[in-house]
Structure 1
Amino acid sequence: MNHQLSDLTEEGLRAFVAEQLDRSRSRTVQLTDAVDTDDLVRQHSKLMSPLVWDYAHIGNQEELWLVRDVGGREPVRQDIDELYDAFMHARADRPTLPLLGPTETKAYVVEVRDKVLDVLDHVKLGGGRELVENAFAFGMIVQHEQQHDETMLATHQLRTGVPVLDAPEPPAGRRLARSEVLVPGGVFEMGTSVEPWALDNERPAHAVRVTPYVIDTAPVSNGDYLRFVVGGGYTDPKWWSEAGWAHVQKASLVAPRFWEQADGNWMRTRLGHRELLPLDEPVMHVCFYEAEAYAAWAGKRLPTEEEWEFAARFDPATGRTRRFPWGDESPGPQHANLGQRHLRPAPIGAYPAGASPLGVEQLIGDVWEWTSSDFKPYPGFRAFPYDEYSLVFFGNDYKMLKGGSFGTDEVVARSTFRNWDYPIRRQIFAGFRCARDPLPSELG
């Protein structure tokens, strides 16, 4: 998916949208067909909805925006709108609702999709209506489904039982020539005003000045993080912020989520597989406070959102801001670990073709990366097409994550994409890399 969507003919754009809708639905079906009816309706964690709620919610959003709004068609199931409104019911309460059963849910989403494809065949994609310019509403719905697919993958991680998902192993890693990169700083264009399917909080593009800093070449690995764990990092308050230390004590944290010690070995559970902790993979399932504490222990800090995006997009040779670390082309399997192609983060050094011009690697895919920044609007922000996507979340409660994980689809994994969550959240596929201020000697 690229910003040359506007170069497609209307029929070419329709074909592209149909392909993206089909691709996202195939993934949803894979995630829901993999488990039995009991697992579909069960709540596997208070943090997550039952899988069957996500499935029907995907269909309901598609009906609201594409059947009713874009298409101007009669409602399919207006009676269930409130049940699947994410703002009406907390996740913990959703199992108590009179939800559609699995069979009814499948029939509903199929009926909605049939109507959506008919709308796609007939609606004019443009004509001055912002919602359909470059098929924006369709792109928004494709991204919504893919985001819920990643949420459902996280639900699979929280589910107990035998493994039900399968995928090939990621490519092998390699030893990196250096562990850090000096970023010279400068002015770059953060965000976007031209990416046709970018969501409101990514807009508009605006100039940001970044002072020089040093950033890790790769995400922090399990092996790196293990040294913090065995070195007493979770028992020494000096590495933790006040809020972080309070959370460690309240939640009795001793290691990343899904880690455990057994017979002298560190193990982790991953999508039903209990395995030796792979030391060369990026650490995952750590909250913001854990990332922040590790960085302090390592004599560093977390990068700001601006520093992360500068490292990912700025080309010092041309002074230009790229779409992706490797250039403007959409992600391929040689660039990044995305889209559930592999069911784990790839080892450090697995994607040399995905490096930024500065030599920073694995910025896209593998694990979401915590930054030190709060979720704030960009200058000139405008909520579109509804307040509940971004506007209601702005403030100091949420921390920004960048880059996407192995469970993030390429249609979402833009360098400009902004993810946010509470600083205590660990069920998401999140890790981090560190940054620091340069020494005077490094600035020459």
Structure 2
Amino acid sequence: MTDTESLRKRALTTLITARERTTLLTSCVEDPDLTAQHSPLMSPLVWDLAHIGNQEEQWLLRAVAGREAMRPEIDSLYDAFEHPRSERPTLPLLPPAEARQYAAEVRGRVLDLLESTAFHGSRLTEAGFAFGMIAQHEQQHDETMLITHQLRRGPQALTAPDPEPAPLFTGPSEVLVPGGPFTMGTSDEPWALDNERPAHRREVAPFFIDTTPVSNGAYQAFIADGGYDDERWWAPAGWAHIRQHSIHAPLFWHRDGKQWLRRRFGVTEVVPPEEPVLHVSWYEADAYARWAGRRLPTEAEWEKAARHDPVGDRSTRYPWGDADPEAEHANLGQRHLRPAPVGSYPEGESPLGVRQLIGDAWEWTASDFLPYPGFRAFPYKEYSEVFFGPEYKVLRGGSFAVDAVACRGTFRNWDYPIRRQIFSGFRTARSGAV
């Protein structure tokens, strides 16, 4: 199989995988749940569905194939920058049946286009980039829709098997990452997005990083020690935020006597102490780290821990190497609806011995979302460039809700430091070589 044939097959597989997931997320509830807004932070599910089709039409059928617009009158309705999420329910959106039909018609034409497009000749078509970009876009909205399902009130609509039970992790609590330069970012990953580029050398001082993400059990110790009531641990803006909103625990947690319970996709259950903590803001992660006498890793530290292979001084695509993720490496793709216990996936650990850097929970870093040296927006500045600045903090690694096509060692996510509805957790670090 030639490289072009391999890339074409990958594009087809990832597009089909994304659409199967979109269909699951939009068919498991009745139409009233699709058109309702379950949180002002999120769009109605039916908006995401038609937006997915509209973006696919704009970039593949119009930009790549040069075809006329199928439904030009709906472009503005599904422009994420023209209409904030809070006002989308008031728009004349396509009803569910029409949104499904539109997305399906677009996809049928795209699959025909995929068979005939040459994977060269322009930056959009080189190595099938535009098809990979659209597959990633759909999977990112699938994760957003899964967040909406978590926020949705009502009976359980989604099911999935739990991760395999893992033996209690008894390895070292932290790993030393040696100081020195490493290659951060990428210039040769064909479907990498603009904010991951270009590859560049970055100097990092020696530091220690947690071997595994912070667990629910460890986070409960912070709560029990009065962490939410002690201003010493909080950034000023974070302290003001938790006071104003009466935040005393991760989102979806509540106390029942002596135990903590959580709501997870319509089911109330005891908070499992062995899982990575989820649904914490950057401010909460930062406060925990301070309470523990540590700090959040910088984005460069996180990436070095995840990608640096000291043998040959090279950066790998993933912690385990260059091979695409398999089930034994990481918890990805909504295969499960929860993180695996901390210490899981030994076959996915980095050369330095750090585990679960990919999948399970997005991990907050200490860093603001900023461009790399030599950054160039492509194919549109609204994907990354308009978000650069101190208002957003970087998250790394992906969660159980992220598909492998939208997750790699260089992939960068970002959000406001107050955000908690996302599948966010963290691990801590400390400086020094001893």
Q: TM-score, normalised by structure 2?
A: 0.98
Distance 1:240 1:430 in 2: 18
SS in 1 for 2:432: coil
Distance 2:161 2:206 in 1: 40
- Deviation by residue 1:219-272 (Cα, 9 ceiling, x = unmatched): 000000001111110011000011110111111110000000113221011111
Distance 1:238 1:30 in 2: 45
2:262 is matched with 268
Equivalence map 1:279-290=2 (5 Å): 279-290=273-284
1:414 is matched with 408
Distance 2:165 2:279 in 1: 22
2:196 is matched with 202
1:161 aligns with 2:191: no
Letter in 1 for 2:162: E
Distance 2:301 2:221 in 1: 26
1:296 aligns with 2:290: yes
2:59 is matched with 65
Distance 1:155 1:63 in 2: 24
Letter in 1 for 2:85: R
Question: CA offset at residue 320 of structure 1?
Answer: 1.2
Question: CA offset at residue 9 of structure 1?
Answer: 4.0
Letter in 2 for 1:76: M
Letter in 1 for 2:157: V
Q: Which shows bigger deviation, 113-122 or 364-373?
A: 113-122
Equivalence map 1:281-360=2 (5 Å): 281-360=275-354
% identity of equivalent residues: 62
In the alignment, which of 83, 87, 95 is matched to residue 93 of structure 1?
87
Distance 2:304 2:415 in 1: 21
Distance 1:355 1:13 in 2: 27
Distance 2:245 2:61 in 1: 44
* Count of matched residue pairs: 433
1:223 is matched with 217
Distance 1:176 1:344 in 2: 22
- Deviation by residue 1:11-47 (Cα, 9 ceiling, x = unmatched): 3432321121111000000000011101000000000
In the alignment, which of 241, 245, 256 is matched to residue 251 of structure 1?
245
Letter in 2 for 1:161: G
1:119 is matched with 113
Equivalence map 1:355-374=2 (5 Å): 355-374=349-368
Equivalence map 1:39-188=2 (5 Å): 39-127=33-121, 129-174=122-167, 175-188=169-182
- Deviation by residue 1:90-110 (Cα, 9 ceiling, x = unmatched): 100000000000000001001
Question: CA offset at residue 296 of structure 1?
Answer: 0.2
Letter in 2 for 1:108: Y
Distance 2:3 2:300 in 1: 36
Q: Which runs of 5+ in 1 are unaligned?
A: 1-6
- Deviation by residue 1:399-439 (Cα, 9 ceiling, x = unmatched): 00000000000001111000000000000000000001126
Letter in 1 for 2:245: A
Distance 1:427 1:315 in 2: 34
1:383 is matched with 377
SS in 1 for 2:404: coil
SS in 1 for 2:260: strand
Distance 1:8 1:48 in 2: 42
Q: Which shows bigger deviation, 18-27 or 142-151?
A: 18-27
Q: Which shows bigger deviation, 319-328 or 291-300?
A: 319-328
- Deviation by residue 1:111-130 (Cα, 9 ceiling, x = unmatched): 11111112212222203x11
Letter in 1 for 2:124: L
Q: Which runs of 5+ in 2 are unaligned?
A: none
Distance 2:387 2:423 in 1: 20
Distance 2:117 2:271 in 1: 51
Letter in 2 for 1:116: V
In the alignment, which of 410, 424, 428 is matched to residue 434 of structure 1?
428
1:241 aligns with 2:245: no
1:393 aligns with 2:387: yes
Letter in 2 for 1:197: W
SS in 2 for 1:83: helix
Distance 2:346 2:11 in 1: 31
Letter in 2 for 1:142: A
Question: CA offset at residue 316 of structure 1?
Answer: 1.6
Equivalence map 1:7-18=2 (5 Å): 8-18=2-12
1:4 is matched with none
